[in-house]
Amino acid sequence: MLMRISDLHVAYGAIKALDGVSAEVDEGEIISIIGANGAGKSTLLRAVTGILKPQAGTIEFKGRAITGERPDRVVRLGIALVPEGRQVFPDLTVRENLEVGGHTLPGAAVKHHLFDMVLTTFPRLKERLRQHAGTLSGGEQQMLALGRALMANPELLLLDEPSMGLSPIITREIFSLIETINREKGISVILVEQNAPRALDCADRAYVLETGRIVLSGRASDVKCDPAVIEAYLGFEGPG
């Protein structure tokens, strides 16, 4: 077990965002979390990374309690977030953005190895190292956000809406890269994604989140065949 989330409660003032959420991630898994806007998906990722402080519940990573840890400590422990909307530093170059991602790591040799690994995984970034991130296309910025997170040398990668604002062709490329990162680098993934068919196709297991509660979980292939999921997220024609 890489991560265990138990009975997690998070609120924004009087508004409950997560109401007793429990979930698990095994080593090497891709976990997809699907749900409507406002279901609490991004809130869950922010709680894991320490950006939000839970009111109750526990988060364990590799057997260690990390509930309420500072975000910089969470990164050092091996968890990296690719935020919704990419949030690259537009006035920094591609190289500088990647260097920011590796700032928590000790030792130049490790950073150099990770830098080479990122450029091998995302060859398009290698062509644009001196280019300002704000001038990249949306797909290239998403690649940069992924690369920046990989520079932290994570064991668990949290992805918040990686296909947002991207064309179908670029979306396919991004999901292919996510699967490559998982398969070839051995990095576990929690994927929050509005594109439910894509999210379920690439995942090992899935959770359906509605108004702050997990209402369904299981193997992604089984979740995709659930009639309620088909009606709410996949269309009436069913999985294809």
Residue 44 is assigned to a structural domain of this protein: yes
The per-residue pLDDT for 239 is 35
Residue 104 is assigned to a structural domain of this protein: no
Residue 129 is assigned to a structural domain of this protein: no
Residue 130 is assigned to a structural domain of this protein: no
Amino acid occupying residue 168: P
Report yes or no on whether pTM surpasses 0.85: yes
d(CA 4, CA 47): 13
The per-residue pLDDT for 238 is 38
Residue 234 is assigned to a structural domain of this protein: yes
Helices 138-150 and 94-101 sit at what angle, rounded to 10 degrees? 30
Residue 159 is assigned to a structural domain of this protein: no
Which structural domain, as residue segments, surrounds residue 240? 1-78+192-240
How many domains are contained in the chain? 1
Q: What is the pLDDT of residues 197-220, one digit of tens each?
A: 999 999 999 999 999 999 999 999
- DSSP labels, the chain: --EEEEEEEEEETTEEEEEEEEEEE-TT-EEEEE--TTSSHHHHHHHHTTSS--SEEEEEETTEE-TT--HHHHHHHTEEEE-TT----TTSBHHHHHHHHTTT---HHHHHHHHHHHHHH-HHHHTTTTSBGGGS-HHHHHHHHHHHHHTT--SEEEEE-TTTT--HHHHHHHHHHHHHHHHHH--EEEEE-S-HHHHHHH-SEEEEEETTEEEEEEEHHHHHT-HHHIIIII-TT---
The per-residue pLDDT for 240 is 33
Residue 217 is assigned to a structural domain of this protein: yes
Residue 213 is assigned to a structural domain of this protein: yes
Question: What CATH number did the domain enclosing 33 receive?
Answer: 3.40.50.300
What is the residue-level pLDDT of the chain in tens, covering all 240 positions?
Answer: 999 999 999 999 999 999 999 999 999 999 999 999 899 999 999 999 999 999 999 999 999 999 999 999 999 999 999 999 889 999 999 999 999 999 888 778 888 889 999 999 999 999 999 999 999 999 999 999 999 999 999 999 999 999 998 999 999 999 999 999 999 999 999 999 988 999 999 999 999 999 999 999 999 999 999 999 999 888 633 333
The per-residue pLDDT for 11 is 95
Q: What is the pLDDT of residues 68-91, one digit of tens each?
A: 999 999 999 999 999 998 899 999
The per-residue pLDDT for 235 is 63
